[in-house]
Structure 1
Amino acid sequence: MRIYITSVFVEDQEKALRFYTEVLGFVKKHDVPLGGGARWLTVVSAEQPEGTELLLEPSGHPAVPPYKTALVKDGIPAVSFAVDDVQAEYERLRALGVEFTQEPTRMGPVTTAVFDDTCGNLVQIVRTS
């Protein structure tokens, strides 16, 4: 069994697509209209174009806003991405205007940082060594 797709809820799919591609460097994989303005919109790592897809899922369900609010309030990332160098990625993203809620922090064999994806989610970047 392998992970095929995972999702992150976003208020505005177009805004999310711009952030996840232009800022984070992901590549659009699928963009299928679903009606009512919603799309099946996925991105993948430029390094692994056939890898796990991230669905930029509309936040239309009534359970989503309180769920996202609670996660952000408690500082819990909605998703985590692996990077080769957390400090370098932190500096690159900061230079692009990304707001971090946690600077690079080493916790044993893991280094993490957390930022706001501008779409209502916290995102963690991580490097295990």
Structure 2
Amino acid sequence: MRIHLTSVFVDDQDKALSFYTDVLGFVKKTEVPLGEARWLTVVSAEEPDGTELLLEPDGHPAAKAYKAGLVADGIPCAQFDVDDVQAEFERLRDLGVRFTQEPTEMGPVTMAVFDDTCGNLIQIVHHA
């Protein structure tokens, strides 16, 4: 068994696609029109056949409440691995990304948390 797809709820699919591709560096994998929304996924440029991230519209009231609750408590909804948290922090900060937690070492893990501009907090981590 493998993880093929996971999702983040976003408030605007176009804005999310721009942020996740132009800023974070993911690439668009799938785009299928579904009425007002799309089945829209991105993947890591380093693993184009890897796990897909669905940029899922947050139109359901439970999705909005879930996102708001996580953000209010400072809890990231997703985690992405990076080779160097400090370097990625600096790169993203220079692109205007707002961090809610700067790089922090916690034992063998270094992490930072940023706002994805679509209603979510995202954690980046490096395991030593």
> How does the TM-score come out when normalised to structure 2?
0.99
Residue identity matched to 1:81: F
Residue identity matched to 1:80: Q
* Deviation by residue 1:64-105 (Cα, 9 ceiling, x = unmatched): 111101100111001000000000000000000000000000
Who is 2:84 aligned against?
Answer: 85
Is it true that 1:5 corresponds to 2:8 in the alignment?
Answer: no
* Deviation by residue 1:38-71 (Cα, 9 ceiling, x = unmatched): 0000000000000000000000111011110110
Q: Which runs of structure 1 show a deviation greater than 4 angstroms over 4 or more consecutive aligned residues?
A: none
Q: Secondary structure of 1:39's match?
A: strand
Identical residues among aligned pairs (%): 76
Who is 1:33 aligned against?
Answer: 33
Who is 1:126 aligned against?
Answer: 125
Who is 2:72 aligned against?
Answer: 73
How many pairs are equivalent?
128
Residue identity matched to 2:94: A
CA distance, structure 2, for counterparts of residue 2 and residue 86 of structure 1: 26
Structure 2: 5+ residue stretches without partners: none
CA distance, structure 2, for counterparts of residue 12 and residue 107 of structure 1: 33
The CA RMSD measured in Å over matched residues stands at 0.4
CA distance, structure 1, for counterparts of residue 59 and residue 119 of structure 2: 13
CA distance, structure 1, for counterparts of residue 92 and residue 66 of structure 2: 26
Q: Secondary structure of 1:70's match?
A: helix
Structure 1: 5+ residue stretches without partners: none
